Amino acid sequence: MRVLLTGVGGQIGSQLKKDLGGLLEVIGTTSRTMNLLDAEAIRGTINKIRPDLIINAAAYTKVDQAEADHEVAMKINGMAPGVLAECAKMRGIPLIHISTDYVFDGNQESPYKEDDPVNPLSVYGKSKLLGEREIVKVDGEHLIFRTSWIYGEQGHNFYNTIRKLLAEKDEIRVVSDQIGAPTSSLYFSRVIKKIIVMVFIKRQFPIKEVKGIYHITCGGRGSWYDFASEILKSVKEKQPCDCGLLPLQTRDYQTAALRPLFSVLDNQKASQVFSIKQTDWRDSFDEIVRGGESG
Ligand SMILES: NC(=O)c1ccc[n+]([C@@H]2O[C@H](COP(=O)([O-])OP(=O)(O)OC[C@H]3O[C@@H](n4cnc5c(N)ncnc54)[C@H](OP(=O)(O)O)[C@@H]3O)[C@@H](O)[C@H]2O)c1
């Protein structure tokens, strides 16, 4: 089975390449080899590679920058997924797409289910929602996985930013009133691999019956401050660190893009359909800190 994987250099793309590589023939693309701003380049590359499955792990992910870069974010996150979906449908192959908790406004008090009302607060969230809708409109075989707060050893993410700040500063302040579920790229990729094996390799379910949107995140919940506290603890286990960590309210931390105050995603649908057992985010984080590929 040949897979075309966009965003192969990104956090999730690189982890998927690693995890799926031994199982499938994975051909990764970057913005240089297949620019999602160019619909013709997308069609041409897919015709050339002739994949059996497309995984779209590429996106415009600079949440604050997207506020000023509306058009580009909408094209990459909103329109390109529709082009990928059309190509997939024409070839009669499935599309796996990744979306985000930022499609919700955060006003709900219980974890969001897949069909809860969406209301993105930012251009990034709106562009990702458009991407979901374009794929659903094409109505081919698709799986859309919404995830949240992705981090890992590699890439630009909260974990690496906080580690750097802890090494450089005497004191840092981190937002304590945005609640979500930090999710390691390792956990996310493992779950996606399990689903790919079930649906496309072992063919345990017809894709027609299971197509749609699923929430895939680590379990539990925490604030960015809670996450930073775990990071600080893990740093202190390895070396002395005198940097202070203080909580901060969102209203005192201005960013270009608004973010939901509560964006925990309910994973029950994925648990029921694909027998996914969620790992608590703190356990998953421990595994990353210990350099784990196990479990
Ligand atoms: N990060 C999070 O916290 C988070 C949370 C929820 C959902 N997600 C979703 O998860 C997916 C993967 O996110 P990530 O964190 O792995 O992102 P990432 O590390 O920022 O990687 C994104 C990738 O997209 C590629 N890309 C950007 N513009 C492109 C273009 N015009 N054409 C082709 N490729 C382009 C980049 O490739 P180049 O380097 O070649 O430009 C990059 O490798 C995205 O759909 C994102 O919305 C992420």
**8-state DSSP, 114:** T
Pocket-forming residues, ligand 1, beta carbon under 6 Å: 6-7, 9-13, 30-32, 35-37, 57-61, 76, 98, 100, 128, 147-150, 155
* Ranges of the chain with pLDDT below 70: 292-295
* Among protein residues, the one whose CA lies closest to atom 21 of ligand 1: 10
Ligand 1 atom with minimal separation from the 102 CA:
6
CA distance 250 to 268: 29
Which of 4, 6, 8, 11, when mutated, tests ligand 1's pocket best, judged by the most ligand atoms within 8 Å of its CB?
11
Domain spanning 2-156+182-220+263-279: which superfamily? NAD(P)-binding Rossmann-like Domain (3.40.50.720)
CA distance 257 to 122: 5
* Among protein residues, the one whose CA lies closest to atom 7 of ligand 1: 100
- Beta-strand relationship, 2-6 and 25-29: parallel
* Among protein residues, the one whose CA lies closest to atom 24 of ligand 1: 58
Q: CA 269, 271, 275, 278: dihedral to nearest 10 degrees?
A: 160
Which of 17, 29, 95, 150, when mutated, tests ligand 1's pocket best, judged by the most ligand atoms within 8 Å of its CB?
150
Closest listed residue to residue 101, CA positions, set 147, 69, 144, 153: 147
* Among protein residues, the one whose CA lies closest to atom 15 of ligand 1: 11
Which of 12, 27, 159, 224, when mutated, tests ligand 1's pocket best, judged by the most ligand atoms within 8 Å of its CB?
12
Ligand 1 atom with minimal separation from the 150 CA:
3
* Residues marked as catalytic: 124
CA of residue 81 to ligand 1 center, whole Å: 13
CA of residue 59 to ligand 1 center, whole Å: 4
Which residue ranges make up each domain of the chain? 2-156+182-220+263-279
